[in-house]
Structure 1
Amino acid sequence: MASPNALTFKVTRKNTELIPPAKPTPHEFKTLSDIDDQEAFRFHLPLIAFFPKNPAMDIKDPVKVFRDALAKALVFYYPLAGRLRETAGRKLVVECTGEGALFIEADADVRLQQFGDTLQPPFPCLEELLYDVPGSGGVVNCPLLLIQATRLKCGGFILALRVNHTMCDGFGLILFASTMAELARGAEIPSVLPVWQRHLLSARDPPHVSYMHDEYENIPDTQGTLIPFENMVERSFFFGPGEISALRHQSPPFVTSSRCTTFELLAAYIWRCRTIAISPDPNEEVRILCFVNGRKLFNPPLPAGYYGNVVATPLAISTAGNLCKQPLDFALELVMKAKSKVTEDYIKSVADLMVIRGRPHFAFDMRTYVVSDVAYLGSENLEIGGGSPVFCGPAKAGVGVIPGLGSLNIPFKNNKGEKGKLVPICLPANAMEVFVKELETIVKKDDIDLGDARKSSIFIGRTKL
């Protein structure tokens, strides 16, 4: 079977329309929180799910089912049917106009099996499976939600969603998608009702920044040169039980304790390997910026249906020379220390900083590795009519808005049935070759031979951007 990255097929878009809520909804203005309303979230967050043919759906058209479910879901999530407006101080508010979300009905001349035995990003022809309708990709005065449902020749289908990130984070997007799935299965109301209450994460009065937030400070270009974003390629790497064990065996005793999570271990390891691969000047700063879900940090807890952004982006900094020469535990302790800074008060301090400093973007360049773990999203809840997706997760993991900076740790099962984490990485082609060799060198220290694993385990695939 051909590599899924080389797969080409034709997608025919049959209909593109605005779907309003199925019932009348309030026309009102709703203010975003000051965590929502930051420059870093002014883009569209994509999600994709692949569904195999389900005999229970033979008499139903899955595209029509999800179209109807979208209209019903927008009754509960009616702000997503509105439009963002920008007010004084660049503050964003939602005008709940009821105009609706964009919905695309499409057919593809391809079978699900042709995508390969193991589905993972990068996905072929993604721009056709999640079509960027002209004029729909802006932040203000544009649709906040775009959904494309694509039928496959085998009877399966693909559901791709794109939401304005200022409206919700990954958890919120999955919450909405799960509501669609519930309503598609026949429910009258969601099992978890959505909650707006964005004031819970708005700046205090008066705002006061109570932490150092280095992630929003300018990055010094000490050598006068920046690594270019050119000739980029993306590859996905699977870390199963064997690879994780190899890393833990090379690390100090605290790594095997509950103090260190798999996410922290992988983040530190990849940050170090990535820095070696891009080869900055040893005296230059390199950074890792971790997206941390803050939902469990609030007391009292946030409502279960809160679908706004509840994330912080703590930062760890090292010189390139120190990071590359020191053992893995040096990077690991930096990552753990950065993540441990995030508390409820830390997140509120970020909200205050947004108001005081005009909603800045976190600072970054090619020497910054941006990483997030999406294990907590609950994408397994996206089930329709007894059928679950064979893959549900970020559509552009590892690429994102700016190629080369970020990646996501995605819960994943490889074609051997092993559960682990899939980590898509995007780098310049020459740096990617060094990165792969560095991965092999470190993991092989634990006598794991990645010669065959490149085909089915740690090394998954490649695409040129």
Structure 2
Amino acid sequence: MEVHIQETVTVHPATPPFSDDHVLPLSHLDTDRNLNVIFRYLRVYVNNESKDADPFDVVVSSLSAALVRWYQFAGTLRRRAHDNRLELHCLAGGGVRVARAKVDCALSAVNYLDDPDEKFVEKLVPGPTIDEALTHPFTLQITRFACGGWVMGTAVHHAMCDGMGATLFFNAMAEVARGEEFTVEPAWNRAALLGPRNPPRVDFPVDQFLSLDKDSVPYAHSGKPAAQEFFEMKDEWLDRLKAALHEQSGSKYTTFEALGAFIWRASVKASKIPEDETVKFAYQTNIRRKVKPALPFGYWGNGCVPMYVQLAAKDLIGQPLWKTAELINKSKFNTTDDYVRSFIDFQELHFQDGITPGNRVSGFTDWRHIGHATVDFGWGGPVTVFPLTRHLLGGVAPCYFLPYSAAGEGKKDGFKVLVYVQEEAMPAFKEEMEKLSGNELILS
């Protein structure tokens, strides 16, 4: 299957949003060294026979209208000379690049990209280099399939926003496409809302999880090839896992805590990490309502902070699984205004020192309830949402919890997980994962 790029256009705001060129500072969450990455993902829309419009034209038109209020997406990221932090330059005439493409097959022929071929989906999403993404931090590709369905591929520099912030913008575009009024007033003011205190102070010991290394390279890895694999997670298996942990500990754990603990241990065990090395479980937690004062509803910058659980590899593998789930559970209680402000102030004090979470980070994220499915341009919400990014929270071995596609004959029981591990460790990792589906759950 070939993806044919037909044209690339630059979309400008429908009316000039400003008269004077200006520079906007970013927050210290936006400029976290581990967010100097391009987040790439796609949304899949099925054909709507009552909708005869060209999706490319609809997206371009709605994007142009939304950029009047959200003009920063047409800006350019540059590094300041005095401290090397990113800032956003907003210049007259800026725009967003959108590519038009087509594929000569039906979405059903690729199962609505529910479990896609890695090489194929790479062609459905813009793939800028990190330098290109600084110049054009937000790019789109609209690919029409022979069935009339289409895919929106997005590449956005993470310094611009997180997943929730991007979804606010896409929902604004979708409101225009459906002929509705904007319901959210975008809020910027990032440096003031999430800037350092004066003087900065670190009251929470974030240095327990973060270290300083000027020579560190974010997302450095061993050079060994990584492999991706999908695993189905049936409700029955998950209920059995959580029941077993409850029986052992007397406590109840969420699916994220129980399954996250299981997958983390399985990947560390399969990868044969030296037993004395420190390994980390990392995830993002939403702080929009945790900080004081709470962030405005229309705040679309990065509004999450990383949380970590760390252990020696031998302890993770050797201790009962419920203890690992318990550590993940307890880490959530660190999400306080004090933690957020200390994390920001740590970034202020040590940005030049090279802040790193280490080289054995396993990033976990749950996309089942993040709001992607609400983005309706008139074809209904996307039936499949799929991430392509491997760089997550300082690690190169992410795990995504994903819903099954809502189209076709896809599975409806439970959900799927997308996991990256070293290629040579995948056979052993699969053996560990098979323990979830056995008639008798084995937690050792």
How high is the TM-score relative to the length of structure 2?
A: 0.89
Letter in 1 for 2:2: K
Equivalent pair of 1:247/1:443 in contact (CA under 8 Å): no
Q: Trace 1:297-336 onto structure 2 (pairs within 5 A).
A: 297-336=290-329
Note if 1:130 corresponds to 2:130. Answer: no
Equivalent pair of 1:285/1:320 in contact (CA under 8 Å): yes
Distance 1:122 1:202, change over 3 A: farther
Letter in 1 for 2:12: P
Distance 1:50 1:255, change over 3 A: farther
Partner of 1:363: 357
Partner of 2:216: none
Note if 1:409 corresponds to 2:401. Answer: yes
Query: What's the secondary structure of 2:50's corresponding residue?
Result: helix
Structure-1 separation of matches of 2:419 and 2:211: 25
Structure-2 separation of matches of 1:289 and 1:405: 11
Note if 1:288 corresponds to 2:281. Answer: yes
Q: Which runs of 5+ in 1 are unaligned?
A: 1-8, 220-225, 449-465
Q: Which of 259, 270, 273 is residue 277 of structure 1 equivalent to? A: 270
Structure-2 separation of matches of 1:421 and 1:241: 8
Partner of 1:116: 111
* Cα drift, residue 363 of structure 1: 2.1
Distance 1:156 1:118, change over 3 A: closer
Query: What's the secondary structure of 1:313's corresponding residue?
Result: strand
Structure-1 separation of matches of 2:27 and 2:221: 35
Letter in 1 for 2:31: D
Which shows bigger deviation, 16-25 or 367-376? 367-376
Give deviations 1:393-449, integer Å, cap 9, x for gaps.
Answer: 4233x566988422222233685653534321111223111111111124425469x
Identity of aligned residues (%): 27
Give deviations 1:300-324, integer Å, cap 9, x for gaps.
Answer: 4321111010111122121222211
Give deviations 1:247-305, integer Å, cap 9, x for gaps.
Answer: 11220359786x63221222111111111111122222222122222223234432111
Distance 1:40 1:402, change over 3 A: closer
Note if 1:73 corresponds to 2:66. Answer: yes
Q: Which of 173, 184, 190 is residue 182 of structure 2 equivalent to? A: 190
- How many residue pairs are counted as aligned between the two chains? 427
Which shows bigger deviation, 164-173 or 89-98? 89-98
Equivalent pair of 1:413/1:419 in contact (CA under 8 Å): no
Structure-2 separation of matches of 1:90 and 1:11: 38
Q: Which of 33, 44, 47 is residue 53 of structure 1 equivalent to? A: 47
Partner of 1:83: 76
How high is the TM-score relative to the length of structure 1?
A: 0.85
* Cα drift, residue 227 of structure 1: 7.9
Equivalent pair of 1:34/1:203 in contact (CA under 8 Å): yes
Q: Please give the root-mean-square deviation of Cα atoms over the aligned residues, in Å.
A: 2.6
Partner of 1:22: 14
Structure-2 separation of matches of 1:134 and 1:447: 44
Distance 1:441 1:392, change over 3 A: closer
Q: Trace 1:424-443 onto structure 2 (pairs within 5 A).
A: 424-443=418-437
Equivalent pair of 1:404/1:428 in contact (CA under 8 Å): no
Partner of 2:217: none
* Cα drift, residue 228 of structure 1: 3.1
Give deviations 1:367-393, integer Å, cap 9, x for gaps.
Answer: 321112234421121112142211124
Equivalent pair of 2:357/2:394 in contact (CA under 8 Å): no
Structure-1 separation of matches of 2:2 and 2:329: 46
Distance 1:268 1:170, change over 3 A: same
* Cα drift, residue 44 of structure 1: 1.4
Query: What's the secondary structure of 2:9's corresponding residue?
Result: strand
Structure-1 separation of matches of 2:184 and 2:99: 27
* Cα drift, residue 184 of structure 1: 1.1
Q: Which runs of 5+ in 2 are unaligned?
A: 214-219
Query: What's the secondary structure of 1:104's corresponding residue?
Result: strand
Give deviations 1:125-149, integer Å, cap 9, x for gaps.
Answer: 223211335786343xx01210000
Distance 1:318 1:402, change over 3 A: closer
Equivalent pair of 1:101/1:143 in contact (CA under 8 Å): yes
Query: What's the secondary structure of 2:127's corresponding residue?
Result: coil
Partner of 1:245: 239
Structure-1 separation of matches of 2:150 and 2:144: 4
Distance 1:312 1:256, change over 3 A: farther
